[in-house]
Amino acid sequence: MAGIGGVLRDCNGKVICLFSVSIGIKDSNEAEFIAVVKAVELTFSREDMFGRSVMVESVSANMVHWVLTPPGNRLWYYQELFILAS
């Protein structure tokens, strides 16, 4: 069983939200990507975040590379996650 978690902070570093969720059986790369998607969903579900810029940080070099890769060149295995994130 895999789990994800994260911390949302404001521009001053103040914690505004913590999250932790069980996501079932996933590999580490998929879990990292789902964590970023969840963080973005939580961020934009907040009324005070409408129209604001967001910075996402991750310790997963794979996840960062995949997000920056053009859609036609992404790994097919994770294509459903990219659709979820868009």
pLDDT of residue 86: 57
> pLDDT averaged over the chain?
80
Instruction: Kindly tell me if the per-residue pLDDT of 57 is higher than 70.
Output: yes
CB-CB contact of 23 with 34 (8 Å): yes
pLDDT of residue 73: 67
pLDDT of residue 85: 58
pLDDT of residue 71: 66
* Structure token digits, residue 34: 């789902």
CA 55/CA 64 separation, integer angstroms: 12
CA 32 to chain centre: 7
| H or E stretch at 44 | helix 28-44
